[in-house]
Structure 1
Amino acid sequence: MPETITLLNLLDDAAMLSLEHQLHLLELVGDHSWNVDMNQQRFDFVGPRATTCTGFQLLGTAAPGPRSWLWAWANPSGFPESLIAASAALRDFGEQHGIAELASAEVPFDALPGSPAEPVAAVGLLMDAAKAVTGRWTSYNGDAGGGTRAAFLIEHPDFRLPPPNPPRTMRVIMQALTDTWVTDHRRALHSYGLRRQLNPVFSPDFAKLTLSGPGFEAVVEFDQYGRVADIDASMSQHDA
């Protein structure tokens, strides 16, 4: 039978690669402000390294008053269809797979994993789910005023990740396990390994996962609950 896809699956699939892209984005744009013109379909970072995105999508907004997320396709403001195509595709994906959080026009914060109290946290969850579905991995969580946050998927050649770097890879793994919403450690690490071409291989009993790349190998051990119990990583002197 085909796998039943859930919102938690999508969050596990996205957690580590999403985090790595966001770290890369922050390094690129540094201390910045941002501007978006929906009519001109222009998204800019303003600061020491000014960047005009080559493309972007509005996913939706999270507001503190109603404590809910509103998908861009359902927003009564009537944004250009070309800028909300990703949100519409996520609606269709949600309907196909029975994921109410993607298919419903408005999603209460309490319906999301962990019942986030703040808009910024709700946005982070739904942006990660969107990345796992669309394959677009760089996002921006912007202050839209009045405590409301707006979520975008953004594109630019500079946003693409460089080849895996062993110290960065370990930082991403450890930070994601600590700071992001990961419920299935095995799935999250295997998904990250596949997407970063780290040759993920489970042991026959699924108690260990080996990740490997140039100058790097890590053997991840899982406890009886499927959580990461230990990571034994080795790096060549050249790459360490």
Structure 2
Amino acid sequence: MPETLTFANLLDDAAIFSLEHQLHLGDVLGEHSWHADLQAHLFEFTGSRPLTCTGLHLLGSAAPGPRSWLWGWANPSGFPEPVTALSATLRDFGQQHGIAELASAEVPFDALPGSPTEPAQAVGILTDAAKAVSANWTSYNGPVGGGTRAAFLIEHPDFQLPPPEPARVMHVIQQALSGLWITDHRRALHAYAVRRRLGAAFSPDGTKLTITGPGLEAVIDFDQYGRVANINASLSAPGA
């Protein structure tokens, strides 16, 4: 029987790879401001690294008043279809797999993992799920008035990750494990390694995951609850 995909699965699948893309985006942009014109299909950054995105997708918005998220396809403001089309594909995916958080036009904060209280927290959760489905990995969100935050997936060649560098990979993994909401550590780490095109192999009993790549070998031990208990990593300069 095929696995039943859940919302939690999507978040675990996206967590670490999404984090690395957002860290990379920060490196690319530096100090910046943003501007969006959805009617013109325009999203641009100004500041230390001016940049105009080559792709723009409105995911939705999180508002503090109703304490809910509204998907872009359901927004009554009538944004252009090309800007909201990706959010509509997420709706269809949610309907196909029985994932209410994607299929419902509006999602209460209380229906999300951890019952977030702030729009920025809700935005992060829904955005990661969207990334896992769409394979568009760079996002941006910002205030649009009244405490509401709008979330976008954005594209540009400079947003592509560079080849994996051992110290960076380990930093991203450690930051994710210490700061992100991850339900299944095994799944999240394996998904990251696969998407980062690193080697990933579980021991026969599933208590260890070995991640390998140029200049990197990391053996990750899991405890009886499937949580990371220890990481033993060997790093060297790629090609050394």
Which range, TM-score by smaller chain?
Answer: over 0.9
Change (3 A) 1:34 1:215: same
Could you tell me how far 1:145 is from its partner in structure 2?
Answer: 1.6
Task: Give yes or no for the alignment of 1:148 onto 2:135.
Answer: no
1:203 correspondence with 2:203: yes
Report if the CA contact (8 A) 2:165-2:238 is conserved.
no
1:166 aligns with 2:149: no
Distance in 2 of aligned mates of 1:187 and 1:222: 12
User: In structure 2, how many angstroms separate the alpha carbons of the residues matched to 1:40 and 1:116?
Assistant: 33
Distance 2:101 2:137 in 1: 19
Separation of aligned partners in 2, 1:156 and 1:176: 24
Amino acid paired to 1:7? F
Partner of 1:27: 27
> In structure 1, what residue type is equivalent to 2:224?
Q
1:146 to partner: Cα distance: 1.4
* Aligned residue identity for 2:65: G
How far did residue 118 of structure 1 move?
Answer: 0.0
| Count of residue pairs the alignment pairs up | 240
Per-residue deviation, 1:181: 1.4
Secondary structure, aligned partner of 2:197: coil
- Cross-structure match for 1:126: 126
Secondary structure of the structure 2 residue equivalent to 1:18: helix
Deviation sequence 1:122-166 (CA, Å, 0-9, x none): 000000000000000000011112110000000000000000011
Residues 138 and 155, structure 1, Cα contact 8 Å, conserved in 2: yes
Name the CA distance, whole Å, in 2 between partners of 1:207 and 1:109.
34
Alignment-mate amino acid for residue 106 of structure 1: E
**Aligned partners of 2:41 and 2:237: how far apart in 1?**
47
Paired with 1:223 and 1:138, the residues of 2 have a C-alpha distance of: 32
Backbone CA RMSD of aligned residues: 1.1
Matches of 2:64 and 2:233 in 1, distance apart? Answer: 42
Match in the other structure for 2:66: 66
Conserved in 1, the CA contact under 8 Å of 2:72 and 2:87?
Answer: yes
Partner of 1:191: 191
**Pairs within 5 Å for 1:8-23:** 8-23=8-23
Q: Which amino acid aligns with 1:110?
A: D
CA contact (8 A) 2:166 2:236 kept: no
**In the TM superposition, what is the alpha-carbon distance from 1:237 to its structure 2 partner?**
5.2
TM-score of the pair, normalised by structure 1 = 0.98
Instruction: Say whether the 8 Å CA contact 1:220–1:231 is kept in structure 2.
Output: yes
CA distance in 2, matches of 1:204, 1:182: 23
The one-letter code of the counterpart of 1:217 is E
Q: In the alignment, residue 181 of structure 1 is paired with which amino acid? A: W
Alpha-carbon distance in 2 for matches of 1:239, 1:161: 19
> Is contact 1:165-1:239 (8 Å) kept?
no
Q: Which amino acid counterpart does residue 199 of structure 1 have in structure 2?
A: G
Unaligned 5+ residue runs, structure 2? none
Give unpaired runs (5+ residues) of structure 1.
none
Structure 1 runs of 4+ with >3 Å offset:
237-240
The residue matched to 2:199 in structure 1 has which SS? Answer: coil
Identity %, equivalent residues: 70
- What are the equivalent positions in structure 2 for 1:216-231 lying under 5 Å apart? 216-231=216-231
Q: Is the 8 A contact 1:166 1:239 kept in 2?
A: no
Specify the alignment match of 2:55 in structure 1: 55
Aligned to 2:213: 213
Q: Secondary structure at the match of 2:151?
A: strand
> Partners in 2 of 1:238 and 1:39 — Cα distance?
45
Q: CA deviation at 1:65?
A: 0.4
Q: Deviations over 1:175-221 (max 9, x none)?
A: 11111110100000000010011110000000000000001110000
